[in-house]
Structure 1
Amino acid sequence: MADFFQSVAPVKEVFMSVWGRSRCPSASSLSRFLAAVNPEAVGLVSDRASSNRGNSNPVD
């Protein structure tokens, strides 16, 4: 979690605006959310993100 928050620090305002948020969630809130997410869904999103790396238009 700490690595994630550190990696988004330079762009957190833009990153959070994607979801209409003004602030990053707390580490404990994000951790609880991720723990509740269906593992198959996480795999699908991960696969999709991996296949879009380097693509200038990540949304089909």
Structure 2
Amino acid sequence: MTPTLEWFKSSYSSNEGPECVEVAVSQAHASVHVRDSKDTSGPQLALTPKAWAAFLSGFCE
């Protein structure tokens, strides 16, 4: 049985703009999932924790 992901809105997202990103962490699969909060049944990205950290480093410099 696959555990349900618990999604949360990114702190970089706003309710007024087009940037609406949600993130969920899967401990079971050691992955970070990303999706568009306006299209929750749409495509998702699944990244390794290392790839996620590299992605975030581009925003947090």
TM-score grouping bracket, smaller chain normalisation: 0.3 to 0.5
| Larger Rg computed on CA atoms | 1
Q: What TM-score does the superposition give when structure 2 sets the normalisation length?
A: 0.33
Q: Would you tell me which structure has more helix in proportion to its own residues?
A: 1
